[in-house]
Amino acid sequence: MPQATADVGAFTERLRRDGHFVFADGLEPVTTATTVDGQGERTFLTDGPYLVTEEQLDSFWVVEAADLDVALVLAAEGSRACGGAIEVRPFRTEGSEGTLLQP
């Protein structure tokens, strides 16, 4: 674990140095989640995550990338740093410069 933390820190620092970094952070465990459903007349709160799944979002990077190809190269480097798969998604907003990398 200490090596993975060091590798992720070095990758994040490289993102900063190379001008790709926008924001990154870790998340508390899913046991701290509260699911909120306010679609009807009443709002329902449920302790725990919305979905029960083996894989859970632990942390994320938001990066600036010229295009998807650059984002995918960054994701591959991030994957090696964190030792896990990375999901790459652009922001929905047109004109947005950020791309979300989710380990």
- Confidence label for 35 from pLDDT (cuts 50, 70 and 90): confident
- The residue with greater pLDDT, 36 or 93, is 36
- Confidence label for 14 from pLDDT (cuts 50, 70 and 90): very high
> Residue 19: which region, alpha, beta or left (left: phi > 0; alpha: psi -120 to 50)?
left
Mean pLDDT to the nearest integer, 62-84:
92
Is residue 68 pLDDT above 80, yes or no? yes
pLDDT confidence of residue 103: 58
pLDDT confidence of residue 50: 76
Write out the DSSP string of 62-93: EEE-SSHHHHHHHHHHHHHHHTS--EEEE-SS
Closest CA to 97 of 65, 57, 55, 60: 65
CB 63 within 8 A of CB 99: yes
Is residue 1 pLDDT above 90, yes or no? no
